[in-house]
Amino acid sequence: MSARAGLFSRRVLFWLVTIGVISFLGSIALMVGGGGTDPGARYGGHPDAVSAIGYKAFVRTLEKLGAPVVLSGFSSAGKARRGLLIVAEPRLDGWRAQAFRALLQAPRTMVVLPKWRGRPSRANRRWVGRVGLLPRANVEKVLNLVVPDARLVRPQRGAAFYPSRFAASPNLPIPQLIRSRRLQPLIESPDGMLAGVMIVRGRRILVVADPDVFSNHGLGRGDNARIAVGLVNGLRPSGGTRGPIVFDTALQGVEKKPSLVRSLFELPFVVGTAGGIAALIILLWAGAARFGAPRRARPPFAPGKLTLIENGTRLLRFGGHQREILDRYRRAVLAVVAARMHAPLGDGPARAQWLDRVGAARGTAERWSALDAHVDDVVGDKKAPDRRLVEAARRLERWKREMVDGS
């Protein structure tokens, strides 16, 4: 092989570049145009849906009232350990039935039964074009996983509800109710109950029969908004003043537990994966006829960012700058949290008290004022071992995650 010969021929290089450009443009087009998610989850009973049968207005209402709301696509029961888990209109096809049973193990769970099935509008797929009642058997399948002896009731007329603790009456033109001996009724009519609660091995489970109390088209009707907020606050810890409100979205087909391998084979990343596989095939085909250029000798120092980071770390440790690094990291963490949470300006006690109140509302494991004082002690201790410095940095990172993403 001459010194001027390249690794690839012009034809192979042309196809590699072409496949790369097509894969890149295809991925961009799919990201802009959508795809890869279940469209029904966006216009149906999803907490982020703006259609008539979505829950966007209810989520905004809770946020306006100061309640921390989390939309969770995985590990929802763990995130709601100190708050309330809401499972709205779950889909039970395939693996989701077993996942639904696992969610019922949360300390406090609200299950909103499905009622409507719809089709997206042609004008805007985020809207619903046509709706109809779900078959009774589909709804009872969800209901009986929670309360085996319960029965679904759909009166032919509007329901007249008995007075309840909410001092309000639901407004439901087409009510959907349930009957069960195991549920203690919270809102009841002669035809059945709209909401009932039961305690199973210390866990509180609230079943709401009709989603129209929470949905975008029904929330503003009559006293429905007051009842919806009252049901949520009545099930939250400390009378509705503590803990996050976690909406599970995994059972609606929107998200699953993050997986890099699975993402590579889902839109829009599957286009890039296909392009990479095709490029690998061409590479193997091109290298089959020859071995390519001679392999160069390895340099004495490995190139790349990792080498620079390792050398920089050794120099900082040799110079004894660990405490200064921890102090800078504390300031960086505080800046990130303050920007994300829109904290008041300044670095005085008022700002620390504000962060403590927000942390208490979000259920953080510790408060900023105590954590800040602990870091001061560690930074001020010139004989502090590396173990204490690393432990303090980990506590800062955990506090930041809980403030930004919820406990």
pLDDT of res. 108 = 94
Q: Is residue 44's pLDDT more than 80?
A: no
pLDDT tens readout for residues 143-191: 999 999 899 999 988 788 988 888 888 999 889 999 999 999 999 999 9
CA 366 to chain centre: 23
* Lowest-pLDDT range of 23-37, 109-123, 205-219, 392-406: 23-37
pLDDT range class, residue 253, cuts 50, 70, 90: low
The pTM for the full model equals 0.55
The DSSP call for residue 128 is E
Q: H helices of 3-55, where?
A: 10-33, 40-43
pLDDT tens readout for residues 370-396: 888 888 888 888 888 888 888 988 998
User: For strand 116-120 and strand 128-133, is the pairing parallel, antiparallel, or unpaired?
Assistant: antiparallel
Q: Is residue 97's pLDDT more than 60?
A: yes
* Lowest-pLDDT range of 135-139, 159-163, 236-240, 291-295: 291-295
Average pLDDT over the chain reads 82
Number of DSSP helices (H) and strands (E) in the chain, helices first? 15, 11
Per the CB < 8 A criterion, the answer to whether 346 and 334 are in contact is no
The whole-angstrom separation of Cα 153 and Cα 151 is 7
Domains and their CATH numbers in the chain: 40-252 (3.40.50), 301-405 (no CATH)
Phi-psi sector, 349: left (phi>0), alpha (psi -120 to 50), beta: alpha
In the chain, what percentage of residues exceed pLDDT 90? 29
Peptide bond into 120 cis (omega under 30): no
CA 251 to chain centre: 12
Task: Name every residue whose Cβ is closer than 8 Å to that of residue 242 and which is 6 or more positions away in sequence.
Answer: 82, 83, 236, 360, 361, 363
Q: Is residue 39's pLDDT more than 60?
A: no
The whole-angstrom separation of Cα 392 and Cα 197 is 43
pLDDT of res. 267 = 64
The whole-angstrom separation of Cα 234 and Cα 205 is 12
pLDDT tens readout for residues 181-208: 999 999 999 999 999 999 999 999 999 9
